[in-house]
Structure 1
Amino acid sequence: MTEADDAERLFLGTTAGEATYREALDRAVEAVVDAADRERPFSGRSPDALDALLDDGPVLPEEGVGLDAALDEVAERVLPHTVNVADERTAAHLHCPPMVPGLAAEVLLSATNQSLDSFDQSGAATLVERRVVDALADLFDLPDGADGVVTGGGTESNFQGLLLARNRYCADRFGRDVQSSGLPLAAKRLRVLCSEEAHFTAEQAAAHLGLGENAVVTVPTDDDRRMDPSALDATIADLRDRDHEPFALVGTAGTTDFGAIDPLDDLADRAADHDLWFHVDAAFGGALALGDERDRLAGVERADSLAVDFHKLFYQPISCGAFLVRDGAAFAHAARNAEYLNPADAAAPNLVQKSTRTTRRFDALKPYVAFRALGRERLAALVETTLDTADDAAALLADADDFDLLADPSLNTVVFRYRPDEDLTAGELDRFTRAVREALFNAGRAVVARTEVDGVAALKLTLMNPRTTLDDVAAVLDAIRDCARTVTAVRREVTA
C-alpha cells in the first residue's frame, strides 16, 4: 500500500476513508459491548501477568499489523482486563459508568476534532461551550456576568480558582502583576484556608502556584466532617496574629470519603468579612443542584469561583468538568493574547484566554447532548437513585453483626469496616483491612476503595452506578466476608 493509499483510507473526507471509519467503529463498538458483558468487574490478573500478556512485539513495529488486527488485539488483550465501570460491583472511586448520550457525543467530538482555543478552529463548538457555561451559571444561581470554561476536571478547576485568587490578591494588596513580574517577596505570608477533609488539590495547587503546600491551612471539622465556622474564625485570627495573610477560602461540597458539604453560606459570610476569594469545590456534590436536595448547596451562588465535574454524578465520559466564576471579568487576572491565535482586537469569541490550556477538546458536547436528551428531571432522578442506594447500603451494614458502619452517608459514599471474630490491635486491624481489600480486588469479585479513618484503614463503597441495587451491595459484602475468612485463615497459619 502506498502513501497515497494511506492518505485515502486513513482520513475522513474520501469514500475510502469513510468506509474505513465505519468499519473501525463497528469493530470498536463490538469490542466495548463484549468487554462490558463480563461476569466480574475485574479479571484479577496481576500487573506482571498483564504486562506479559501485552508483550507481543514492539508497540511501534517497522511494519504495522493493520487496523483490524490492532483493534482485535485491544479487544482480546486489553479491554477484558480493564476495570469494568459498568459493573454494579465496581464501587471504589468517583468513577462513573458513562451514559450513552455522552458516549455518542464522544464519537462526534473525537472525529470532528475541534479545538476550543480559538473560534477559527471550532466554529459552532465555541458557542455550544458558552451555552453550556450559561446553563451551569443558571443551575447554580450565579448572577448576570458569570462566566466559565470547560476543564478536564476538579483538579484543573481548583487550580484555576486559586490561580485567579492569588493573582487578584497580589494585584490588589501589593500592586504586583504576578503574570509579568512574578511573586512578591511577601508571597511567603500568603495562606489558603480549607477544611481538614478537603481534597488534596488545594495543596497541589498551592505547590504549583509557588506558594508551597505549607501555605494551605486546614480548619477543623464538626461531628459531620463539615468545616466548623467557629474554628475558621479562630484560625483566621491566629493567622493574622502571626502576620500571615489569608487570601482564599475553599469550601467543599462533597468530600471524597464522606461526601460532607461545608456550610457554604457561613463560609461565604466569612469570606466577605475578611476579603477572601471564596472558591467552592463542588466537583463531587455539584450534581445536587439538579434535584430536590439543591438546598444543601445553599451559599454556592455566592462563590467567587466554582468547580464542577461532569465525569462524576453527571455520568459523562472522562474527562469533563467546568470552572465557573461569579464575575467573568476575573478571567483577566490570568488572560493573555497571542497575535496568531487570539489577538486583542479579535471580534470572534476565542476561549483560550479563559483556560489554563491551549489546545482543548470539545468536551462541552458531552453534557450538552446529555442535558438536551434527558432534561433536568431525568438527570436528577439518576443522582437520587444512587443516594437512595447508599442510604440502603448503610442500613444493611448497620444491621450486620460483622460490619461497622463508620458514618451515615451524606452523598453516595459508605465508609465501613469488617469486624473480625477476634480482637485485633489497631495496627493488626489496619493490616487486616488492607489485606481483605487486596484479596477482593485480586479475586476480581468486586472493586471497593480503601481509605483511612482515625489512622486505621477502612473500606468504602462509592455507589456511582444507578443500576446498582441493594442485592448487588449484599453480594459485595458477601465477597468481603469470604475474603476476610481467607485472610484470617492465612494469618492464623502464619502465627501458629
Structure 2
Amino acid sequence: PEASNEQWKKHFIHTGHLGSQEFAQVMNHTTAAMKAVFEQVNAPYSGLEPKILENAINAVDLDNKNASLHDVISDTAELIAKNSIIVQHPDCIAHLHTPPLMSSVVAEAIIASLNQSMDSWDQSSAATFVEQKVVDWMCDKYQLGAQADGIFTSGGTQSNQMGLLLARDWIADKLSGHSIQKLGLPDYADKLRIVCSKKSHFTVQKSASWMGLGEKATLAVDALPNGTMDVTQLDAVIHQAKAEGLIPFAIVGTAGTTDHGAIDDLVAIADVAQQYDLWMHVDSAYGGALILSSHKQRLQGIERAHSVSVDFHKLFFQTISCGALLLKDKHNFKYLLHHADYLNREHDTLPNLVDKSIATTKRFDALKVFMTMQNVGPQQMGAMYDHLLEQTQQVAQLVRQHDAFELLAEPCLSTVLFRAVNTQASDLDELNKTVRLQALVRGVAVLGETIVDGKTALKFTILNPCLKISDFESLLAKIETLAVELAK
C-alpha cells in the first residue's frame, strides 16, 4: 500500500516545496504548448475534415495508455488545441463567444488549482467573501438598492431559470400563502403565465417547461422590426389573459437579443410590471455589460427589476462559464433555502452560499471578475464596449456599400445581420447556408447563421475589441470569393 501511495503522489498537487515544484513544471509545459499553438494559428479552424478529426479523437486509448503528463499535454495541444475553434482569430465571429481576457485565464488556473467548492464557508473561506464582494459590486452598478443580493451561476440559462422559478414561488406565496417548495404546484398552476417578447431567449420557454408550467405558460408579445418588444401591446395581452381567467405573474425584458442585439424598453416594461404587480425579470446576458459604458442609459429601467441575469462570459470577456443572478430583494432567495445537517446547519454564523443557489457544488468563478476589475478595470471595459458599438456601425456601412451583400437589419448592439447576394444563385437561402458551412469546415471563417424576416442570414457577432476595420474588409472579401465559387 505504501508503495502505491508513493506512485500516486505524482498525479496530485502537494503542499511543500516538492509538490509546488512539480506543479510549476507541469504548468510551464502547458503554457509553452499553448504558446506554440497560438503562434501557429492562421485560421479560425484548422480545416481538418470533421470525420477525420472525429476518428482521430475516437482512436485515443482511454484505458491502457498511462502516458506521462508531459506527453499527454503535448499530444492534447497537437490533436485538440490545434483543431479547436480559435476564438481569438479575427475571422471567428459567429456567436456570443468572446476571446477571454488574460486576467480571466490566469484566474481560471488559480480556480482549478485551489478547487474551492462554493456551497459552504468551510470549503471556500476567502472565496465566499470574494463572491459576495463581486455580487454586491454588481448590485451597486445596476442600482438595485440596499436589499439587493445575488449568486453566481453557470450562465444565462441557469440565471433565467432561477429568476423565473423565484417568480413562480413568489406568486403562489402572494396569492394564497402556498409553498411550492413544500407542497408542489398549486391547483391554479395551469393558469400561471409569463409575458415575454417573441424575440426573448428560448430559455424562457425552457424554464416554463422545467417548472412544470409547460411552454404554453408563455405569452409572447410581438416584436418590432428592430427586434425589441412592442410594449404598446402589453396592456392588451395582459387584459386578454386575465379575461380568460389566466394569471400573468412575470414579465421578461431583454437587454440584448441574441440575433439583433435589441434592448427592450425596460422603463415601459417596469411601468407595466408595477401597474399589474408582476415580477419583472431582465435577461441582460448580452447587453448587461453596457452598465459600464457611455451607453448605460440604454439600460434605464433595469434598476426596477425584481431579478436580473448577467453573463460575464459574454461582453465581460471572462472564460466560460461565468454568470450571475441578481435580486432586488434578497429575501426572495428564501424560496430556495433548504438546510442540510452536514452542510448549512441552521445555527451556522458563517455564510453558506448554497442557501441561495440551485447548485450545491459550484465553481469559484467570481475570482475571474474580481481579478479583472483590479487589472483592466470598469473604465477600460466600458471603453471597449463603446468601441465595439461604434465599429459595428462601421461594419454595417461596409456591408451597405458592398454590391455582393445585403444588410438585413439595422444594428442595435454588436451584431451585423446580412446575406450574400449573387445573380448566379438560384436560391439565396441555400447559398448563404452553404457559405456558412463551407467557410467553417474549410477554415475560412466561423460565421453565424439565423433567420431574419424569413431570409437566411449570415451574422457577425462583433466582440473582439482588438479588431480593425481592415480585418472586416478582408473577411468580407473572403466571403464574397467563397459565395461566387459556390454560386457557380
With the length of structure 2 as denominator, give the TM-score of the two structures. 0.97
Aligned match for 2:343, one of 326, 341, 366: 341
Tell me what 1:452 maps to.
Answer: 451
- Name the counterpart of 2:442: 443
Alignment partner, residue 231 of structure 2: 229
Aligned pairs (5 A) from 1:249-260: 249-260=251-262
* Local SS of the residue matching 2:376: helix
SS in 2 for 1:482: helix
Structure 1 Cα separation of the partners of residues 400 and 231 of structure 2: 30
Q: Is the 8 A contact 1:40 1:445 kept in 2?
A: yes
Pick one of 361, 365, 368 that aligns with 1:366: 368
How is 1:178-197 mapped onto 2 (pairs within 5 angstroms)? 178-197=180-199
Shift of 1:423: 6.8
- Between the aligned partners of 1:165 and 1:81, the Cα distance in structure 2 is 43
Q: Which residue of 2 aligns with 1:293?
A: 295
Deviation of the 1:117 alpha carbon: 0.4
- Pick aligned residue for 2:42 from 17, 25, 39: 39
- CA deviations 1:286-313 (Å, max 9, x no partner) are 0100011100000000000000011001
- In the alignment, what sits opposite 2:178? 176
Question: 1:165, 1:47 → 2: CA distance?
Answer: 44
Partner of 1:459: helix, strand, or coil?
A: strand
Deviation at 1:481, TM superposition (A): 1.0
- The residue identity in structure 2 corresponding to 1:451 is T
Letter matched to residue 319 of structure 1? S
Question: Residue 149 of structure 1 contacts residue 355 of structure 1 at CA under 8 Å; is this kept in 2?
Answer: yes
Report the CA distance between 1:223 and its aligned residue: 3.1
Report the equivalent of 2:484. Answer: 485
Aligned mate of 2:377, from 369, 372, 375: 375
Asked if 1 retains the 8 angstrom alpha-carbon contact of 2:415 and 2:462, the reply is: yes
Q: Which amino acid aligns with 2:476?
A: L
The answer as to 2:357 corresponding to 1:322 is no
CA offset digits 1:289-344 (Å, max 9, x no partner): 00111000000000000000110010000000110000000100121111111111
Counterpart residue type for residue 312 of structure 1? K
Aligned residue number for residue 475 of structure 2 = 476
Give unpaired runs (5+ residues) of structure 2.
none
Asked if the contact 2:252/2:281 (under 8 Å) is kept, the reply is: yes
Paired positions, count: 485
In the alignment, does 2:283 pair up with 1:277?
A: no
Identity %: 39
Aligned mates of 2:49, 2:218 — CA distance in 1 = 38
Do the aligned partners of 1:259 and 1:412 also contact (CA within 8 Å) in 2? yes
Task: Quote how far apart the aligned CAs of 1:456 are.
Answer: 2.3
Which stretch of the first structure deviates more once superposed, 6-15 or 301-310?
A: 6-15
Q: What displacement does 1:233 show?
A: 1.2
2:203 corresponds to 1:201: yes
- Who is 1:493 aligned against? none
Higher mean displacement: 307-316 or 43-52: 43-52
| TM-score with structure 1 setting the length | 0.95
Shift of 1:386: 1.7
C-alpha contact (below 8 Å) 1:167/1:334 kept by paired residues: no
User: In structure 2, the residue corresponding to 1:247 is in which secondary structure?
Assistant: strand
> How do 1:49-60 residues align onto structure 2 when only pairs under 5 Å count?
49-60=52-63
Q: Is the 8 A contact 1:90 1:448 kept in 2?
A: yes
Q: Does 1:97 align with 2:96?
A: no
| CA deviation profile, 1:213-235 (whole Å, cap 9, x unmatched) | 11111101223221111111111
Give yes or no for contact 2:192–2:249 (8 Å, CA) kept in 1.
yes
SS at match of 1:86: coil
Instruction: Report deviation, 1:35.
Output: 2.3
Contact kept? 2:273, 2:279, Cα under 8 Å? yes
Please state how far the C-alpha of 1:93 moved relative to its aligned partner. 0.2
Q: In 1, Cα distance between the equivalents of 2:47 and 2:403?
A: 29
Partner of 1:413: 415
The alpha-carbon distance between structure 1 residues 385 and 25, as it changes in their structure 2 partners (threshold 3 A), is: same
CA distance in structure 2 between the partners assigned to 1:6 and 1:13 by the alignment: 17
Structure 1: segments with no counterpart, 5+ residues: 490-496
Q: CA RMSD in A?
A: 1.4
Q: CA deviation at 1:56?
A: 3.5
What amino acid does structure 2 have at the position aligned with 1:114? Q
Contact 1:152 1:321 in 2 (8 A): yes
Shift of 1:145: 1.0
For residue 86 of structure 2, what is the aligned residue in structure 1?
A: 84
Match of 2:44, SS state, is coil
